[in-house]
């Protein structure tokens, strides 16, 4: 990204249920797009709503085609990451191209492992014309073990963490599993803090859990409000939030200082 980012970057957004993964994925994807990057945002929730955070209507989100399951992606396979994004990606009002990986359209449709496998393949291959790929993961840490790890090829795991002990414990487990998978960078983004005590807790507890903090996003009444309204997104990002995002992007890129070579290692 024009003097900010060298090479491509893939970020897996993870964390305990309800901490704000989808909200943060939307904000990060949007922040990179606003800085001129080509961004692909991948929704891996079986009940997807990342599209809402990127300004789509419910009807538009429902119309996004779901990636085929268990596709082999890569040079010697049936398709390429590039072709998948071209066929299944849809532009969003906020800028990023949305890819929906796992929507469960009918009850009893079976497990979603195949969808995770496709996302794994998508991340394994660098996308030529894409600068940043943001993957909004479903809750929990199962995806760090299943099928060799959906996010095994992500450059960075961004663990969203609210100021609770349970969220921090999830962050610690995530960091441990990521290390086993060989993911080089696990970074924390605090969310929903109300005051200095909350922020102080996260800035102490996360590093103690092995997760350095890139930024802390406070509790935002606007987000809650937007969530209830039709259309459900922050239509404009308030300056205070913009400042936190700038801090977060800067810290992420500083940590991932040598983007080239990252993919070659695995
Ligand atoms: N910084 C924030 N301030 C206020 N509400 C937030 C914030 N981040 C997320 N939320 C709210 O918390 C709820 C869960 O957020 P969501 O992004 O869907 O979490 P997840 O994807 O981790 O389940 C939503 O209602 C969302 O609007
Ligand atoms: Mg979510």
**Banded pLDDT at 2 (limits 50, 70, 90):** very low
Give the model's pLDDT for residue 67: 84
Measured in angstroms, how far is the CA atom of residue 44 from the centroid of ligand 2? Answer: 9
Measured in angstroms, how far is the CA atom of residue 80 from the centroid of ligand 2? Answer: 27
Q: Of ligand 1's atoms, which has the minimum distance to the CA of residue 191? A: 1
**220 alpha carbon, closest ligand:** 1
Give the model's pLDDT for residue 133: 92
What is the pLDDT averaged over residues 136-149?
A: 70
Which residues does ligand 1 sit against, CB inside 6 Å? 15, 17-23, 139, 191-192, 217, 219-220, 223-224, 227
pLDDT tens digits along 214-264: 999 999 887 766 666 554 455 678 888 999 999 999 999 888 865 433 333
What is the pLDDT averaged over residues 7-27?
A: 91
Which pTM value belongs to this model? Answer: 0.88
Give the model's pLDDT for residue 123: 79
**Banded pLDDT at 145 (limits 50, 70, 90):** low
pLDDT tens digits along 42-82: 998 877 789 999 999 889 999 999 887 766 666 566 778 88
Pocket test for ligand 1, best of 16, 18, 46 (most atoms within 8 A of CB): 18
Pocket test for ligand 1, best of 23, 194, 227 (most atoms within 8 A of CB): 23
**Pick from 18-22, 152-156, 213-217: least confident:** 152-156
Which of the two residues, 179 and 265, has the higher pLDDT score?
179
Tell me how far apart the alpha carbons of residues 68 and 115 are, in angstroms, rounded to a whole number: 7
**16 alpha carbon, closest ligand:** 1
The 3-class secondary structure across the chain, one letter per residue, is: CCCCCCCCEEEEEEECCCCCHHHHHHHHHHHHHHCCCCEEEEECCCCCCHHHHCCCCHHHHHHCCECCCCCCECCCCCECHHHHHHHHCEECCCCCEEEECCCCCCCCCCCCHHHHHHHHHHHHCCCCCCCEEEEECCCECHHHCHHHCCCCCCCEEEEEECCCHHHHHHHHHHHHHHHHHCCCEEEEEEEEECCHHHHHHHHHHHHHCCCCEEEEEECCHHHHHHHHCCCCCCCCCCHHHHHHHHHHHHHHHHHCCCCCCCCCCC
pLDDT tens digits along 169-211: 999 999 998 888 888 899 999 999 999 999 999 999 999 999 9
Give the model's pLDDT for residue 187: 96
């Amino acid at each position: 990204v024009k003097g900010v980012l060298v090479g491509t970057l893939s970020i897996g957004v993870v964390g305990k249920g309800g901490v704000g993964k989808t909200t943060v994925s939307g904000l990060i994807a949007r922040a990179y797009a606003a800085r001129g990057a080509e961004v692909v945002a991948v929704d891996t929730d079986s009940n997807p709503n990342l599209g809402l955070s990127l300004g789509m209507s419910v009807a538009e989100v429902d119309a996004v085609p779901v990636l085929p399951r268990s596709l082999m992606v890569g040079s010697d396979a049936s398709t390429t990451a590039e072709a998948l994004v071209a066929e299944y990606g849809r532009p969003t009002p906020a800028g990023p191209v949305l890819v929906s990986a796992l929507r469960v359209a009918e009850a009893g449709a079976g497990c979603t492992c195949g969808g995770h496998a496709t996302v794994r393949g998508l991340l394994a291959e660098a996308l030529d014309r894409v600068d940043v790929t943001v993957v909004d993961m479903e809750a929990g840490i199962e995806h760090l073990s299943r099928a060799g790890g959906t996010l095994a090829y992500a450059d960075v795991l961004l663990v969203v963490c609210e100021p609770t002990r349970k969220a921090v414990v999830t962050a610690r487990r995530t960091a441990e599993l990521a290390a086993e998978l060989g993911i080089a960078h696990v970074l924390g983004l605090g969310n929903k803090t109300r005051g200095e005590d909350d922020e102080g807790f996260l800035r102490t507890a996360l590093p103690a859990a092995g997760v350095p903090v890139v930024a802390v996003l406070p509790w935002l009444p606007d987000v809650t409000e937007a969530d209830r309204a039709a259309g459900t997104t922050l239509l404009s990002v308030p300056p205070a939030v913009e400042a936190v995002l700038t801090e977060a992007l800067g810290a992420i890129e500083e940590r991932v200082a040598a983007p080239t070579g990252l993919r070659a290692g695995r």
